[in-house]
Every structure is written in structure tokens, then in C-alpha cells.
Structure 1
Amino acid sequence: MFRAWGSAVHVHRWLVLTIALVLTVGGGLWGLGVFDKLTQGGYDDPASESYRVDQVVEQELGQKPAEVVILYTAANVDDPDVARKVTASLDALPASAVAQRVDYWSTRQAALATPDKTRALATISLAGDSTDARQKAYEQIADRLEVDGVRTEVGGQVPTEVAMTEQSTSDLVVAEAISLPITLILLVVIFGTVVAASLPVLVGGLSIFGSLAVLRLLSLGLEINTFAVNVATLLGLGMAIDYGLFTVGRYREELAAGATPQQAVARAIATAGRTVAFSATLLVIALAGLLVFPMDFLRSMAYGGMSAVAIAALLSLTLLPALLSILGHRVEKGAVPWRKNNGPSENGLVGRLADAVMRRPVWFAGAIVAVLLVLAVPFTGATFGTADEKQLPPGDPHRATAETIATNFPAASNNTATVLLRGVDEAGVQAFTAEASKIPGVLGVAPKGAKDGVVALTVPLQGDAASPQSHDAVVALRELPSGGEVLVGGFPARTADQFTSISDGVPWMVGTLVLATLVLMFLAFGSVLLPVKAVVMSALSLSATYGVLTFVFEDGHGAGLLDVTPQPMQAGMLVLVGAVVFGLSTDYETFLLSRVVEARHTGLSTRDAVRTGLVRTGPMITAAALLLAVVTGAFGLSSLQSMRLIGVGMIVALLLDATVVRLLLVPAVIRLFGDRAWWAPAPLRRLQERAGLSEVETPNRELERV
């Protein structure tokens, strides 16, 4: 099937090239408009208790959340001149942008000023029913908040979201500016010719363009988080380079063996192209696992990643072979002086490494598994948070404002719970208030409002909203008897609910990944044990990656070098890292096993087939991992802690998976399996043969009997 497709692309190469370029370039130009549609919303679970509290407070009590918090500092905030200036500034804000406003000078609430009267607050609820609308409302007032002669600092949910969106967009430009030139240089070094090196980069750029078109199309009816574009860029460029590296490498290998360009294209697509299709399918399914979660920000990243990977694979199976057919032997143009024409050496470093693994498989497997398990240990003590101002760099003004407010105005910080009591009489409210005040971590209980039998209470909590103490306080508040219905919301409750929603969805995601891996890898290789081994290896690699991330980002070891603040990690970002790492693990596994199976079907023993596959693909897998590490490493330079976590996590996973796991542990385990590695029950083997997904035309008789 794939060989026939490669031949068809060669015959219609100019038509295929034209269609691919028109669709990706035209769609990408239109897709650039997605940047005006991106938001920082979508972190809440619409079915959660905290989300329900927000709806009741706004719709039944008529109180909109304070999305902008302004901190004013002066020698004396009670000074009439200060009061006049601040009040005039707030009165001048457009009514079209401000839905509600509460400030110290209009209300004289003691909680809105510090005891020494040097600081005071004003809070603004923005107009709009969506995250995008509220961010646009904030843009109308952002430049009008400064007050002459009074130090003015702005914080709150929406300004923080806007700052994160702007920083994310800026980081995206910087990451591309850094990664693309370095990647091209490395490809020239790896391939030895400028023309061959430029092809994967071209496919990567077009993959990003195409994914932008998909995201803009989705943004017409869905809320797309700003991180979706970062993920699309990371995976679009990274996977296109990986796929291009293997496809172009195989094409040149066939040319060197004496094939014509048409034969080389057909053979490259029948082998490397088939592997690209399988690995991309697995990665898309892995990212699709994010769709089981109810939060739009995880769904957004799934959309971005799935579109980028799918387009990278499609271009690698259409535009890339068309270009190779047109170029023919000219793919070798622009050769660099150090280029070597000979292929992988059987007696080179990888060959000697393979021999060592084949001689001592038990030693290698045992030592590597032990190391991976040790690396995973820190993750057993991990705690989880959500996106807040601490994702911004330490010197960011929005983060500094939030920290000042949290210190001086605990009731206005994000670590404040909102409790709703329904069907509770006055005596019950008083009793609930008294008991709630005794809960560890509760700083006090104050009335927030009441209407139609619903009483709202404000409960500021001590410390950080993502801390175990705040989580326990939320749980205790929800379990406190009241004689009626108790609902707890607010930022600490949303943090707890988000983790609950993610933890509830993880088994479904894991089940999807495992089932897809088992089925697709069986159809690809006709073995029962190899897919099971792939799942176990990926789980080990992912666990070790999580352990390293916990060691750095939460425990703080080396945090100073990365300029990050030790804190609970975002569960959503860890889920994304898990999906991508699992997909990449099976990606490299597929590339390796494809050549092992190919060698096995020529009549080689299992030991010799593993060695041959390792020699043929080992250097290429290492090169692919290095290139992807450069792409993700550029994102690791982001000033947003969440993006830095993704970048560092990917680098760690790639270093572990493409070297220790894929080049040492996997061959050692297959060597221990022996011929049992190729076993499958007769009915399943017949099913795999009927599926027709194997490109092996003359299966070895001995293999059929195993």
C-alpha cells in the first residue's frame, strides 16, 4: 500500500507539490488571524462545584468577580487630594468596559486599606460574558488606570492572563528565531548536504503554517488557549524534522544502493513513510487522550498538537516525496567538506555498543531499570497547582502586585474561598461561621452577600492556594454540617477541583494510549510481546521524566539555574508532557523496530536483526532526538514557568528515551525475549496479515513458525 502511494506521488509529483503548497501556505496566511482569537481561559471544569459557585454568585446574587485589582500607594490614602484624583480616574473609565467597581474611597471599607493608610484597593469587574470579551474590555481601560502623584499597581486575574498571553506570543517568536537556524545547521552537519538538510525544515515550517489554519478554524466556535499555538509550533516543527530526517535519510540510502529516484521514493515511503504514518497515528491518538478532560485549555493543546502532527505526517507523505522525486540525485547538492559517503559502520560506536548489549542483556536491562526507578522516586511526593501569577517571571509587575496584595490584603488575594449556604437559617449561618473559623488555615469568615435564601461568605485562607493546607481547608469547609446545602468555590477550590477532574480523566487517557499502542504496534509488527514491551518502556521513561521535573520545579534543586520559583506543578501541563512523551517513545520505538523486523524477515536471527536495526537506526534516532531537543529547548527558555516545564520535560525525556531506553534497554529486552519476541497466536497473526499493513513481501518461513 505505501509502496504504491510512493510510486503514485512520483508520477504526479508536480500536482502533489502544487496542491500541498497552495493549501498550507494559503491556509497558513489565513490562520495568522488566530493570534487575535487566543485567550488564557479554559482552566475550569464546567461540571465542578467551584464553577457552580461562580455561576450562582454572578447570576443569583448579582456579584461579578473582581477581575482587576488596583493597588494605590501614597503617604496617606485618606488625603482629600489623593481621594479626588483616584475617584476621578475611576469615574472616567468607560461604562462599556466596567460592569462593577468597588473601591476604598466610595465604600470606606476598612478591609480595603492598610491600617497605616498608606495603601488602598479598588476592584473592577469587567463587562463581557466570555474570557475573550473581558480581555478586550480590559484593553480599553489598561492605559487609563495610572493616577498622577499616586503609585498605581495593577493585578488580578485578567491582567495576569493578558500578560501571560503577550509573554507566550513573544516567547514563540524568540523560540523560532533560536531553534530554526540551529536546527538547519545541525541538519547540514548530519546530512552533509545543504539541499537534503533544508527539506525537513521546509516541511516543519509548512506544518506550523497548516496547524495555524486549523486552529483559526476551530477558534470560530471554540475557546482556544494561547498555549495551543506554542504546542503546535513545538510539535509541528519537531515532528516534521523527525519525519523528514528518516524519510530523506532512507531515500538517500536507496539512491546510494543504486536505485533510481522513482524506486528510491517508492522504497522510502514503503519503509520510512510507513513508519511515519504509524508513529504519527500513535502520537495523534496520544494527544487525543487530552480530549477526555473537561478543561478547554487541555482540549486546546490537544487541538494544536494533533493538527501539527497530522499535517507534519501528511506533508512528509506528500510534499516531501514529491520534492525528492523532482530533485532526484540533486538532493546531494551543496555537499560540505566533511561529508562521508559511506553509510553506518557495522563496526562503529553503535555497532560495538550493540555487541556489548547483546553479550550482557541482563546487566544492561537491570541497571537501566534501576536507574529509571530511582529517577522516578521524587514524583511520589509531588503536589499539584494551577495557572496563576507565579507562572510569570519573578520581576513581572503583575506578579509583584499580586504578592503585595496577598501580604497586605489577605481577603483580596487569590487564596480566598467563597462559601454558599442554601436553605440555612440565621442561627445555622452563625454556627457554620463559628465552626469554619476553627478550621486550620482559615484566617476568618466574612459576609459576602445574601439573596433569596442564598448566603455567601468570604473565607480567606493562609498561604498558597495550591498548598496541601488550602486543599484540606476546602475539603473541611465542604464537609462542615450546616443544616442545608454547602457549596465552596473561589480560586483554592478551583485548584482542587481542577486536580480532581484531571485525576478522574487520567485512567481513561492511559487506557486510550495503551489500547492504541497495543493494537497499532501489533498490526505493524505482528507480535504480541513487542507492543507490551513498548508500553512498559514508555511508562518507565515517563515516570523518570516526572521524577526529574518534581526534583527541579517543586523541590527546587537547580531552580536557581533555570530561574524558576519552586512550587506545585500544573497537573494539566504534566498531562500534556505525558501524552507527548508517550507518543514520542512509541515513535522512536517504531523507527527502531521497523528496521529490526525488516532485518528479521531477511532471515537473520533475533540477535543479528536487533544489532542490524540498532546500527541502521541508532545514529538517526539520536540525531532526531537531538534536533527535537533543540526545538523544545528553545521553548525551555520561555519566561513562563509552564512553558519552561514543558521544554525541560521534553529535553529530559528525549535524552533518556532516545539514548538509554531506545538504544540500550529495548535491545537488551528483545535479546532476552529471543525468538519469543515475534510470537503471536495464529488467529491474531492471520488478522494482522489480512490487514495488509506490513510491507514485507516475502516473509521468512522460520518467522512464520515462531
Structure 2
Amino acid sequence: MFYHLGRMVTRFHWWIIGMWLVAAVVALPFAPQASQVLRPGGFVSPDAESQHATDLLAQKLHLDLTIVQIIFTGQRYTVDDPQFLQQTQQALAQLRKWPEVAQIVTYADNPRQISLDHKAAYVNVMLKSDPDSAPKLLPALEQRLQKVPDLKTYVGGGPVFYEDIQSVSERDLRRAEMLAFPFAIVALLFVFRSVVAAILPTIVGGCAVVVALALIFGLGHLTPLSIFVLNITTLFGLGLGVDYSLFMVSRFREELGHGRSKEEAVALTVATAGRAVAFSGLTVTIGLIGLTFMRINMLRSVGMGGILVVVLAVLAALTLLPAILTVIGLRINALPIRLPRLRKAGTHEQGNGQVELHHGFWYRLSQIVMQYPVRVFLPVLLLLIGFGLPFLGVRFSAPDASILPPDVPSRQEYNVLAARFNESETIPILLALQTRGPVMTAENIRNLYYYVKRIEADPRVERVDSIVSADPRFTLDEYELLYSNPQLIADPYLSALMRTSVSGNTAMIQVISKYGMVDARSQALVQTIRNTDPGHGMSVLVGGGTAGNIDYVNSLYTDFPLALLVVALTTYVVLFILFRSVVLPLKAILMNTLSIMASYGALVVIFQDGFLHQILGFTPLGFVEASCPILLFCSLFGLSMDYEVFLLSRVQEAFWQTGDNRRAVALGLERSGGIITSAAVIVIVVSACFATADMILVKALGLGMALAVILDATLVRGLLVPATMRLLGNLNWWMPFVGVQRHPPALAEYMGAPEQKKPESPSSPVSNLPIGGEQ
């Protein structure tokens, strides 16, 4: 099938090039606009209890969640000085008149908004806009926020956080693109030693990215997509587009070196390397499909964007690139670059007419490994497991402003808030409680009072804010008497509290923990409240920052096992069809898992514990962002399988030629080792460019992918795979009811004899060496 596809491409090459050119030209105006339709949020599961609690409070109590926090800090004055209050009022004067503001709550209204050292206070500005459109109002808000001489202001809160995510993501993407393209071209020049051959993969990768971004722009109008789609699309588009083109161009040059015409060389390239590219793209797509099983929109949309760009990268490699190769032909080696070259495998003719065979590095390495398979297998296996052991101490959390660089407003406000205020006061545990009938009846006041007392008795609770705990001096009888005529309440604080926290049969209770939002004791407190029946026909939903954090992690790792199972089983079936073996797909899955687990350990050591944080330029989180391991697994599983497919495809070809498993492994590694290493270097370079990102989530993804590919291309492919295949022997190629597959498919009749010269010996280890491939 792939051979005939190659023939068809050579026949209609100008039509194919023209169609891709039209697609790229049409896509160019829309690709830069993709970020405009993407959203910065998407970290909340719509099925989470915390989200239901928030929705209920917003519906019943009109709880305003679109809040901009403004912190005022003073050097000359404390909050208790009249000048401090005067200047804050002056700063807020224009905002109070702005129609977009629903309410402003100052520290004068709520003294708990004053810092511990009384030198700072924050103000909550509630906007009428919904959270999605609120970031667009920020420039107008900041323009109306007047500067005052003696106070410094910090602006933060949800809308600012989401706006900063958007701007930092776009900034990271521009930096990564500026670094990745030149570095990729330099790496390709070292591989091919030809300017023409080096430029082709970047053209193919660039086309895939441009068209994919334009399609994402259109898709973003139909369904909500996360801003992180931009980074994953470019990372996969460049990495895989260049990778696939690298394998195709290498095989094309190899076939030309065998004396074939350019049309036949293109057809055989598509039939061999193109077949591997198609199955490789399928395995990468399967890995990304795992992300679409997630309820978290950020992961689901990243999966959709990744699948889109991988499909386009495969299509470009199987159609656009062969069409261009048909036009270029032997000019693929034009504009050569003189660079030092390591000795590659080849032959040397001696004076007596005999031919002396020189094997390359990869062949010699595989022979050493297969001579001592157990001595290689066990230490490498233990080393990779050791790299992954730190993951046993992982602590997961949801993202907050700490994932952003320190130069953006929301991170600066977050730092001041964390350093100078009581974190528990700013992020309370919210309870949405519903009663039988109106809350303000005497019976429900009594039930509510005893329920709040039970919560207050928990040693982890600092305080409970509710209508029945507003004043610790009041008894139950006094509360019942007070609320028997709520319209007569004269105290402004109690009146405001009742108005904002009670409506019909719904009441809001705020529980202040003694510990921080991500502290295990605060999380245990949330679980205790959730597992405690309030009784008397009352029901409660628990929300707030700590509860949202718990729900975010639980949602991810409830969905992840199903995604993992689907990805593993589907990949097994695809590889079973490709390699016609029961054992090889299972071995490939286990090998990939080892390199991924090693990268997981690096996540903990670097981002949770802070190793190398000064060199990498970030502040240690003290936790691992919960979506990172899932993103890495679904991305790396397919990407690592990419190299496994290319390696085993060449081993399979050699086994069909020789029928000798040990020789096939050596020949397959020799024929593919250099080019796979070159491809891995390019992916490492592209991933490392994304590791320069200021946003820690993107930095972790880029760094994790780079580390995993380094381990995969060296320890796994160079040592573990040949050792394992040597130990398994002919069992590698066994199928039920068929036995060991020793005969090639029908493609052999096309490959058996070049058009222009006598075929080389099928057992010759140099017959399929890529030109310039042995590095």
C-alpha cells in the first residue's frame, strides 16, 4: 500500500506541492491569531463537588467570583494611620464610579484584609463581567486606579492571573520558536552535511505547524480550548515534523546510493520509512488520545491540538516531502557542508581484490551488549528504576500564581499576599449548606448553630464565619431572638453578613483552617467535613481553594487509569499488526514506561525539591503540578514509541533478510542507530528550547521530554533493547499458530533488485546504511 502511495506521489507531485502551498498560504493569516480564541483557564472539572458548591453559591447568593485584588503597601504609614485610608480612598475614587464594578470591599469593611504587620491591606473589587471576559477589562481598570504618592499597589486575583497566563504563554512560544528553528537547522546540517537536505525537514515541520494553528483558530470558535495548546502544537509540530522528515530524507538518500532512479527511490522510501512514519504517528496519536479522556479541559484541548498537528506532520511527511524529493532528485546533496565525520560502517578494497568490512559504532556496541546481555540488562534496569524512585515522594497540587515568573503582576501580588497575610484568611474553605425550608426559621438556626459548633471543635479549625458564629459572645437563644426579626438588626456587620451569606434555604459558611491551602492537614479537614453528615435534613457541598485542589487532583487521577489502559492496549494492537509479533509490542511498552518513570523522578527532584532551580531560573514549588505527569506520559509514550518503531522496523527488515535474531539486532541498530540518535538530538533541542519557558508548567513539560528522550536514545535504545532482544532470541518474532516469522512481505519483490545495478548481497550489513546516517 505504501509503495503504491509513493508511486502515486511521484506521478502527481506538482499537484501535491500546489495543494500544500495553497493550504499554507490560506493558513498564514489565521495561524498568528490562534491565541485570540484560546482560554487561559480550564483547570476545573465541571463534575467536581467544589465546582458544584461554587455554582450553587453564585446562583443562590449571587456570590461574585470575578474579583480583582488590589494590595496597598506603605513605608511611611501603617494601616491604622488616617493618611493610609485617605490615600487608598483616593486611589479607588474613579473605580467606584465605573459601571463595570459591582462592589468594592475594603479593609475598613473587613478588618481581616489587613496584613499581619499592619503595613499593608488589600481591597476586593468585584466586577460584573464573567470570568472569561474579565481579563479584557484590566487595562481600563488599571487606568482608573489612581497612583498615590506614599503607597505602592499590587494588582492580582483571578482575572489578572488568567491574563498573565495568556501573555506569558505567548512570550514563551515566541522565544521557543526563535531558538528551536536555528538550532534544528544546525543539527540537521551536522546530520546531512547538505544545506538542501537540512532545510527540507524544517519546511515540512513548519507547514504542519502553520496549518495546524490555523485549524486550531477555527476549532477554537466551536469549542473551548486551552492556551497551552499553542505550546504543545509547536513542540510536536516541529519535533515530529523534523523527525519524520529526517527518517524519510535519510532513506531516500540511501536508496539513491543504491543506484535507483529518483521515482523508485521515493516509492521505496514511502514503502519503508513512510510505513514506519505512519505507524509511529499512529502511536503518538494514540498517546495523545489518552488526554481526551480527561474531564479537565486544559488536558482535553491539549490532546485535541496535539492530535491535529501529529496527523498533519504525518500527512506532510508522506505526501509533501516525497513530492519535493521527486522534484529535487539527486540535488538533495546540493550545497554540501564540510564537517568532521566519524568513521562509519563501510568496505575497504584490499590489494588482492578482497573486500574488508568495517562495522560502525552501533554494530560494535550491539555485539558487546549481546555478548553480555544479563550484565548489561540488570544494571541499566536498576539505574532507570532508581531514577524514578523519587516519584514515590511526589506531592500533587493545582496550579496557582507560583507557576508564573516573578515579573508579572499576579505573581508579584501573590508573593506579597503569601508573605504578609494569613493565607487561610484569603483562601477559606467554603460550605454551601442547604436546609429544609428557609434558613432563618428557629429550627434551622438551631440546627445550623450546633453544626457550626461541631466544626469549631475540630483542632485544625482557626475560626468559622457564619450567621451563627458572628459574635462568640452570643448564645443560641440570643441568635434565635436576633434572627426572629432580621429586619430589625441594627449592627451593620451582622446585617451585611446575613445579606451576603443567606438566601432562602441556602447559607454560606466560611471555615478558616490553621494551616495553608495545600497543607495535608487542611486537606484532611476538608475530607472530614465532607464525610460528616450535618444531620436534620441539611446537605452541604464543600468548595474553596483547598477543596478545589483536592478535586482537581482526584479528577485527574480518576480518569488517568482508563486513559492509560486504552493507550497501552491500542498501542499494543497497532504494534502487533506492524511487527507481527506477540512479544515485541509488550517489550516496547515496558521499555517506554521505564524512560517515562525516570522523567517522573526528575520532576520531583527538580520542581518539587528545587534541584538546579537557580540554573533553570524558577522558584521551587514544593509540589508537582498534578497535570504534568499525565501530559508527559501521553506525550512521551508516543514519542518514545516513535524511536522504537523506527529501530524495530530496521531490525525486522534485517531478520527477514538473515533469519538470525542476533545478527538482525546488530544490523538493525547499525542501520538506524545514527539516524535515530540524530532525530533524538533534534527533539531534545526543540524540547530544551521549551524548557527555557518562564511558565513552570511548560518548562516542566519541555525539560521532562528532553530528559526522557536522552535516556530513551542512550540507555534504552543503545543498551536495554539489544540486551532484551538477545535474551528473548527468536521469541521476539513469535506469533500464535504461525510460529517465528522468517519471511518478508510482498514488498521484498520491489526492494530486491535496484533498477540500475545488480542487487547487493542481502546479508551485507552496509546494503541499507543511510548516507550520512552513521554519527
Give TM-score scaled by structure 2 length: 0.85
The separation in 2 between residues aligned to 1:40 and 1:508, in whole angstroms, is 26
**2:155·2:413 contact (CA, 8 Å) conserved in 1?**
yes
2:476 corresponding residue in structure 1: none
1:282 corresponding residue in structure 2: 283
2:429 maps to 1:417: yes
2:512 corresponding residue in structure 1: 460
The separation in 1 between residues aligned to 2:240 and 2:730, in whole angstroms, is 32
The separation in 1 between residues aligned to 2:116 and 2:231, in whole angstroms, is 45
Letter in 1 for 2:546: P
**Structure 1 residue 344: Cα displacement:** 4.5
The separation in 1 between residues aligned to 2:582 and 2:555, in whole angstroms, is 34
Counterpart selection for 1:507 from 555, 561, 567: 561
1:540 corresponding residue in structure 2: 594
Higher-Rg structure is 2
**1:526·1:685 contact (CA, 8 Å) conserved in 2?**
no
The separation in 2 between residues aligned to 1:697 and 1:477, in whole angstroms, is 72
The separation in 2 between residues aligned to 1:232 and 1:443, in whole angstroms, is 46
The separation in 2 between residues aligned to 1:462 and 1:683, in whole angstroms, is 67
Instruction: Note closer, same or farther for the CA distance 1:405–1:19 as it changes in structure 2 (3 Å cut).
Output: same
**2:344·2:361 contact (CA, 8 Å) conserved in 1?**
no
2:68 corresponding residue in structure 1: 68
The 3-state SS of whatever aligns with 2:541 is strand
Instruction: Note closer, same or farther for the CA distance 1:440–1:556 as it changes in structure 2 (3 Å cut).
Output: farther
Counterpart selection for 1:599 from 646, 654, 659: 654
Instruction: Note closer, same or farther for the CA distance 1:339–1:699 as it changes in structure 2 (3 Å cut).
Output: closer
Alignment of 1:440-589 (within 5 A): 441-447=460-466, 449-483=501-535, 484-564=538-618, 565-589=620-644
The separation in 1 between residues aligned to 2:407 and 2:746, in whole angstroms, is 56
1:682 corresponding residue in structure 2: 737
The RMSD of aligned alpha carbons is: 2.4
The separation in 2 between residues aligned to 1:276 and 1:47, in whole angstroms, is 39
Letter in 1 for 2:448: V
1:35 corresponding residue in structure 2: 35
**Structure 1 residue 113: Cα displacement:** 2.6
**1:524·1:694 contact (CA, 8 Å) conserved in 2?**
no
Alignment of 1:216-227 (within 5 A): 216-227=217-228
2:416 corresponding residue in structure 1: 404
The separation in 1 between residues aligned to 2:322 and 2:102, in whole angstroms, is 57
The 3-state SS of whatever aligns with 2:259 is coil
95-104 or 446-455, which deviates more: 95-104
2:237 corresponding residue in structure 1: 236
The separation in 1 between residues aligned to 2:426 and 2:680, in whole angstroms, is 40
Instruction: Note closer, same or farther for the CA distance 1:527–1:341 as it changes in structure 2 (3 Å cut).
Output: same
2:363 corresponding residue in structure 1: 351
Summarize deviations over 1:326-354 as a string: whole Å, max 9, x none: 10101100101237699645522212101
**2:289·2:567 contact (CA, 8 Å) conserved in 1?**
no
Letter in 1 for 2:608: E
1:371 corresponding residue in structure 2: 383
The separation in 1 between residues aligned to 2:740 and 2:287, in whole angstroms, is 25
Instruction: Note closer, same or farther for the CA distance 1:115–1:403 as it changes in structure 2 (3 Å cut).
Output: closer
**1:415·1:463 contact (CA, 8 Å) conserved in 2?**
no
The separation in 2 between residues aligned to 1:435 and 1:169, in whole angstroms, is 49
1:704 corresponding residue in structure 2: none
Letter in 1 for 2:378: G
2:453 corresponding residue in structure 1: 434
The separation in 2 between residues aligned to 1:683 and 1:159, in whole angstroms, is 63
Alignment of 1:76-475 (within 5 A): 76-77=78-79, 82-93=84-95, 95=98, 97-105=100-108, 107=109, 109-114=110-115, 117-129=118-130, 131-149=131-149, 150-338=151-339, 344-345=345-346, 347-394=359-406, 396-410=408-422, 415-423=427-435, 425-439=444-458, 441-447=460-466, 449-475=501-527
The separation in 2 between residues aligned to 1:326 and 1:621, in whole angstroms, is 26
**1:29·1:209 contact (CA, 8 Å) conserved in 2?**
no
The separation in 2 between residues aligned to 1:143 and 1:165, in whole angstroms, is 20
**Structure 1 residue 90: Cα displacement:** 3.2
Letter in 1 for 2:446: A
Letter in 2 for 1:676: L
**Structure 1 residue 155: Cα displacement:** 1.4
The separation in 2 between residues aligned to 1:544 and 1:530, in whole angstroms, is 22
**Structure 1 residue 96: Cα displacement:** 5.0
The separation in 2 between residues aligned to 1:323 and 1:67, in whole angstroms, is 55
The separation in 2 between residues aligned to 1:282 and 1:546, in whole angstroms, is 21
**Structure 1 residue 371: Cα displacement:** 0.8
Identical amino acids, percent of aligned pairs: 33
**Structure 1 residue 684: Cα displacement:** 11
The separation in 2 between residues aligned to 1:429 and 1:409, in whole angstroms, is 30
Summarize deviations over 1:554-584 as a string: whole Å, max 9, x none: 1223333323314211121221111111111
**1:66·1:123 contact (CA, 8 Å) conserved in 2?**
no
**1:46·1:294 contact (CA, 8 Å) conserved in 2?**
yes
**1:104·1:112 contact (CA, 8 Å) conserved in 2?**
yes
Write 1 or 2 for the structure with the bigger share of helix: 1
The 3-state SS of whatever aligns with 1:443 is strand
355-364 or 453-462, which deviates more: 453-462
The separation in 1 between residues aligned to 2:452 and 2:616, in whole angstroms, is 44
Letter in 1 for 2:525: A
The separation in 1 between residues aligned to 2:117 and 2:666, in whole angstroms, is 76
Give TM-score scaled by structure 1 length: 0.93
- Tell me the number of residue pairs that the alignment of Structure 1 and Structure 2 aligns: 693
Instruction: Note closer, same or farther for the CA distance 1:439–1:257 as it changes in structure 2 (3 Å cut).
Output: farther
Summarize deviations over 1:375-406 as a string: whole Å, max 9, x none: 11111111101110110124544223223223
74-83 or 310-319, which deviates more: 74-83
The separation in 1 between residues aligned to 2:285 and 2:522, in whole angstroms, is 37
**1:358·1:668 contact (CA, 8 Å) conserved in 2?**
yes
